[in-house]
Amino acid sequence: MNPRYPRPAQVDREKGQSLIEMAFLVPILLLLLAAVVDAGRAFDAYIVLTNAAREGARYGTFFTSDTAVTAPAVQQLVVDDVVGSGTNITRMDDFQLSNVTVQGIAAGSTAVTVTVSYDFGLWFGGVVGLDTFRLNKQAVMPVY
């Protein structure tokens, strides 16, 4: 028998081996793909929260001496910025004023601090037992 050409029985066994290897690898690769998709969505939402907190803090620094602009106005600005961003935050109705805290809006303050938090829902997190996790972002702007 020529060693360059395997016997038909060996070829059949190798086909079965490839099928078993594929059966083990496909679920692992799909799980990795799902993790990458969720991580990308979470990173996008984190960037949106960062920009909204920064915008709220910047807005608050211009009006610290104006009593008409209060912390609820800054909170509403941050909520509008997040909701209007077109982000992938899945439960937009859940993102409300309670997710935003503002400190330092008063005459004579030296800095305005805006903290934004959101419970981010994962699409594929149930596979590993993690349905949501909290995204927090804080922006501090000095008052000049």
Give 10-residue mean pLDDT values along the chain (144 residues).
63 72 92 90 90 91 70 86 75 71 79 89 81 90 86
The runs of H, that is alpha helices, within the chain are: 8-62, 71-83
State the Cα torsion 101-106-112-115 to the nearest 10°.
Answer: 0
Q: Count of CB atoms within 10 A of residue 113's CB? A: 18
Phi, psi of 86 (to 5 degrees): 75, 25
pLDDT of residue 28: 92
Write down the residue that tokens 């395997």 correspond to.
6
Largest CA distance in the chain: 96
Angstrom distance (rounded) from CA 102 to CA 113: 6
- Name the token pair of 123: 């699409």
Q: What is the pTM of this model?
A: 0.77
Sorted by sequence, the CB contacts under 8 Å of residue 81 that are 6+ apart come out as 51, 52, 55, 56
DSSP 8-state code for residue 65: S
Listing from the earlier edge strand, what are the strands of the sheet with 100-103?
100-103, 111-121, 132-142
pLDDT at residue number 115 = 93
